[in-house]
Amino acid sequence: MDFSSCNKHAPEIVFFDLETTVPKRGGERFWVLEFGAIVVTPHKLTEIESYTTLIKPKDLSVVSVKSSRSDGITRKAVENAPSFEDVADRIFGILNGRVWAGHNIQRFDCVRIKEAFYDINRPAPVPVGIIDSLGVLTEKFGRRAGNMKMASLASYFGLGQQKHRSLDDVRMNLEVVKHCATVLFLESSLPNIFESKWYESPSIMTRSRSNAKSPCKEESSRKSPPTTLGYQRTVPYARGSLGKVTERVKGLLCKAQGQPPLQQLLKHSHSLLR
């Protein structure tokens, strides 16, 4: 099989994230304050491009003077930043015609991107596919790490604290996906050993005990995952113990071509490690 030919025709994946204002009362909207993205190859997940920028909203008064986070975005940080219209061409170029990936992007970030382009009377970029790691990981990995917030998943794997800055968060998102894929690889390699360590209890929801589906409506708050999503299982690995293993994660082979790239990564995780 000509693997180079397969790689040539597969669309690139762009992991992206937005930081926004948080409405304080009903009827208020979200304003984009920061955009960050990395472009990765679909079969090796190699980062080939990155871009991030702060964005000044039309009304500076919607941005807090102080942030509750040490590295949070403040009014002073964005007062001299470009407007969304100033950076729209760059954002369009990095998003349009690629596979979009991110955590909870279908319910939040995709909506905000469309709103921002609508505000400046420009057509919004169009993806060739969307991979929302919130839904995919809930289905494939399960809620064994607790809730499905990026901060919780990162803490579970010992990846450090989420910074809530766009470029840092998208790189963390990719690392979380790699770690989850590695766990699934290990479990699929010795299912009898690892599966025997799982158990059910009244407080643990499994796929067989729950028919709950993810709601399709837009997220009402910044990035909180729906509370009805997924299932939960106990995992036999100590938290933070898989970092060295996942450094060896490799890209998928072309036999999985035609499926969404992140689905390839999880479904065919047995081929990830060499």
pLDDT digits (tens, 9 = 90+) for 215-258: 334 444 456 565 444 333 434 444 444 444 444 444 443 444 45
Of 88, 62, 57, 111, whose CA–CA distance to 221 is shortest? 111
Among 43, 103, 164, 268, which one carries the catalytic annotation?
A: 164
In this model, does residue 62 exceed pLDDT 80?
Answer: yes
**Percent of the residues in the chain that have a pLDDT greater than 90, as a whole number:** 52
List residues bridging with 272 in a β-sheet: none
Question: Is 164 labeled as catalytic in the residue annotation?
Answer: yes
According to the model, what pLDDT value does residue 24 have? Answer: 84
Task: Name 53's bridge partners.
Answer: 35
Percent of the chain whose pLDDT exceeds 70: 67
Q: Which pLDDT band holds residue 143 (cuts at 50, 70, 90)? A: confident
Per residue in 20-50, pLDDT (tens digit) is: 998 888 888 999 999 999 999 999 999 999 9
- Give pLDDT, residue 265: 55
Mean pLDDT along residues 257-268: 53
Query: Is residue 239 helix, strand or coil?
Result: coil
**What pTM was computed for the model?**
0.72
- Which position has the higher pLDDT, 15 or 198? 15
Burial label for 161, CB within 10 Å (0-12, 13-18, 19+), is exposed
pLDDT at 47: 97
pLDDT at 23: 87
Query: What is the pLDDT at residue 26?
Result: 82
In one letter, which amino acid is 193?
I
Would you state the pLDDT for residue 192?
A: 83
Per-residue b/e over 233-252, b at no fewer than 16 CB within 10 Å?
A: bebebeeeebeebbeebebb
Residue 260 has a pLDDT of: 55
With beta carbons less than 8 A apart as the criterion, state whether 126 and 97 touch. yes
Side-by-side strand order, sheet with 99-102:
47-54, 32-40, 13-20, 99-102, 129-132
Bridging pattern class, strands 32-40 and 13-20? antiparallel
Report the sign of the C-alpha dihedral through residues 263, 134, 170, 155, in that order.
negative
Show Cβ contacts of residue 193 under 8 Å, excluding neighbours closer than 6 positions: none
